[in-house]
């Protein structure tokens, strides 16, 4: 039975998002506009889009479920998440913005090849990114369908078609700018929705202290930082992984890192750090606390992932519950759209254009990018409807796989001039494969070390050791990076004049390929 009191406002909200796509499309002139919003995004939008992109539907479903099952231990993830955007902006923001403009990099994978000049870096990087990003997009579409079905009563297939259809449409039409604007808007909707339901839940249980007292009365270990029944007592490797996965992990996610590339200038990172922490104060801890509130309010909850939707329907009138549903969907959509545009960008820029035998013009690449976004979007809808086996398993590896593959090459690419392409390749493969093996074989149980933490250690060791054992990068590779780094904070005009035009770069690539061909034929 469709609950139109909830579904109605929600559908209107979704249609409103389409408006962002249409407006954004009016600002679209070239590929740089489609992939990076013309590098014109300001501090507030950067802070909000970075955070809403980084936090997926997990914040409304997985996070509260973990708190429902494990109690206070789940908040270790919030501890890291609170500082994740700040660390990302502080460590990578200004440097990556400046360097990628000088190098003309339009995607995070392209930046890696410019910094570590070897085709294998782009091939391996693109492969890892496309597989995991696509899996992530599919999972978010499935989550969108399930959420709409559970709360509004619409059939699952309609839920997927409505939720995913809107995302694909505005991303296809408006590109990165539409994604950034809708993300910023949705971040605000998420915070409002989350705090409405939190206040309602706390009032219902008779206050914060009363809530925690009632939880302790059920099982006092719910309030232990070591997990329910003190499952992780003394396991600092597990705690460190839980904190680090979000505190530093975002620096490895291509769809989060691209936010640095799109800032209007390097100075934007300064403001964005403060906006980001301000926003997190009103959002990051709340979902986990709500999960704990559900221990008291919904003790017989069959599916803990539905804690927040169930609480909202129990505590709020229909229209307000519709806003909470919109907030839940905002979390899903703001991540899915960013992954969609990122996967489309990597496919078009890092695969089609990079390995094409001819120069592809700017307007043709714009078309390619849109087609890739549409292609992945349609594939995502089909996968979400069919739900083939293996998709859920792939998603389990996605966040850790992306984070551990790209984090170290990204950070050391800015700060360590000695890092070279074999090291970057080793770091990517070592980090991602360790994370996958650790998760698949459940090595956390044996070693008491979180898969993300293990992947990060192996990635760092592999990157540094291989770089030191092989030749240092050429001076002409490092010189522009050093010069870009030096120009951070310079008055305008000091910075090297650069362009996002594709033609010069395409020519440079073809020259490079021609030289290689000549060398090989000799």
Partner 1 sequence: MSILGIPTVDFLAIFIWIPVWWLVALFSLYMMRRHDTQKAQRRADTKEVER
Can you give the binding site for partner 1, defined by CB under 8 A?
A: 72, 75-76, 78-79, 82-83, 86, 90, 94, 208-213, 215-216, 223-225, 269-270, 273-274, 276-277, 280-281, 285, 488-491, 494
307-315 and 119-152 helices, crossing angle to 10°: 30
Residue number with CB closer to partner 1 (35 or 55) = 55
Write down the least CB distance from residue 83 to partner 1, Å: 4
In our burial notation (b when 16+ CB lie closer than 10 A, e otherwise), range 312-349 reads bbebbeeebbbbbbbbbbbbbbbbbbbbbbbbbbbbbb
Give 265 or 510: the residue with its C-beta nearer to partner 1.
265
428 token code pair: 């990517």
DSSP 8-state secondary structure symbol assigned to residue 496: P
Say how far apart CA 326 and CA 9 lie, in whole Å: 9
Let me know: does 452 contact 241? Beta carbons within 8 Å: yes
In 3D, which of 396, 399, 458 has the Cα closest to residue 427? 458
Report the residue number, 209 or 471, with the smaller CB distance to partner 1.
209
- Residue 473, both tokens: 């990068």
Closest contact distance (angstroms) between CB of 225 and partner 1 is 5
Based on CB atoms, which residue is closest to partner 1, 273 or 353? 273
Which residues lie below 8 Å from residue 346, measured CB to CB, with a gap of 6+? Answer: 107, 109, 126, 129, 130, 133, 254
Minimum distance of partner 1 from residue 208's CB (angstroms): 5
Output 178 or 244, the one with its CB closest to partner 1. 244
Minimum CB distance to partner 1, residue 88 (Å): 12
CB of residue 488 vs partner 1: minimum separation in angstroms?
8
Phi, psi of 41 (to 5 degrees): -85, 130
Q: How many CB atoms lie within 10 A of CB 390?
A: 8
Nearest-10 Cα torsion for 373, 376, 382, 387: -140
Number of residues that this document lists for the chain: 522
Q: Closest CB to partner 1 among 198 and 462?
A: 198
By beta-carbon proximity to partner 1, the closer residue of 87 and 128 is 87
What tokens were used for 423?
């090291």
Q: What separation, in Å, do the N-terminal and C-terminal C-alpha atoms of the chain show? A: 73
Closest approach of partner 1 to the CB of residue 251, in Å: 15
Instruction: Work out how close the CB of 511 gets to partner 1 at its nearest, in angstroms, rounded to a whole number.
Output: 34
């Amino acid at each position: 039975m469709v609950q139109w009191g909830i579904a109605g406002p929600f559908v209107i909200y979704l249609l409103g998002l389409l408006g962002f796509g249409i407006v954004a499309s009016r600002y679209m002139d070239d590929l740089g506009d489609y992939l990076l919003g013309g590098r014109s995004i300001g501090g507030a939008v950067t802070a909000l889009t970075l955070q809403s992109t980084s936090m997926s539907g997990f914040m409304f479903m997985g996070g509260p479920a973990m708190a429902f099952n494990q109690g206070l231990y789940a908040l270790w993830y919030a501890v890291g998440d609170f500082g994740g955007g700040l660390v990302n902006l502080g460590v990578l923001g200004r440097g990556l913005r400046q360097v990628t403009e000088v190098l003309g990099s339009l995607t995070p994978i392209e930046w890696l090849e410019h910094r570590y000049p070897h085709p294998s870096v782009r091939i391996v990087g693109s492969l890892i990114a496309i597989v995991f990003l696509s899996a992530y997009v599919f999972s978010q579409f499935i989550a969108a369908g399930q959420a709409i079905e559970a709360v509004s009563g619409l059939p699952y297939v309609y839920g997927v078609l409505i939720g995913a259809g809107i995302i694909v449409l505005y991303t296809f039409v408006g590109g990165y700018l539409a994604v950034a604007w809708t993300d910023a808007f949705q971040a605000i909707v998420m915070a409002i929705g989350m705090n409405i339901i939190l206040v309602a839940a706390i009032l219902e249980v008779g206050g914060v202290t009363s809530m925690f007292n009632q939880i302790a009365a059920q099982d006092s270990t719910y309030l232990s930082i070591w997990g329910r029944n003190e499952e992780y007592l003394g396991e600092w490797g597990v705690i460190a992984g839980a904190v680090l996965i979000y505190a530093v992990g975002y620096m490895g996610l291509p769809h989060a890192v691209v936010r640095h590339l799109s800032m209007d200038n390097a100075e934007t990172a300064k403001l964005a750090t403060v906006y980001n922490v301000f926003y997190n104060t009103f959002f990051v801890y709340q979902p986990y606390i709500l999960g704990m509130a559900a221990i008291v309010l919904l003790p017989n909850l069959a599916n803990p992932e539905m804690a927040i939707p169930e609480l909202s329907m129990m505590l709020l009138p229909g229209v307000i519950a519709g806003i909470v549903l919109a907030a839940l969907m905002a979390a899903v959509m703001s991540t899915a759209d960013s992954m969609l545009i990122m996967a489309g960008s990597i496919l078009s820029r890092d695969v089609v254009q990079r390995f094409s035998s001819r120069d592809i013009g700017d307007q043709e690449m714009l078309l390619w990018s849109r087609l890739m976004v549409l292609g992945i979007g349609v594939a995502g809808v089909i996968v979400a409807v069919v739900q083939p086996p293996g998709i859920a398993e792939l998603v389990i590896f996605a966040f850790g796989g992306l984070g551990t593959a790209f984090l170290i090459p990204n950070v050391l690419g800015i700060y360590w001039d000695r890092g070279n392409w074999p090291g970057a390749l080793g770091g990517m493969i070592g980090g991602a494969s360790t994370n996958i093996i650790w998760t698949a074989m459940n090595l956390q149980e044996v070693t008491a070390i979180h898969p993300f933490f293990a992947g990060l250690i192996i990635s760092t060791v592999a990157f540094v050791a291989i770089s030191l054992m092989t030749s240092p990068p050429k001076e002409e590779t490092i010189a522009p990076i050093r010069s870009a780094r030096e120009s951070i904070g310079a008055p305008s005009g000091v910075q090297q004049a650069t362009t996002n035009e594709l033609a010069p770069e395409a020519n440079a690539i073809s020259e490079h390929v021609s030289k290689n061909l000549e060398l090989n034929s000799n």
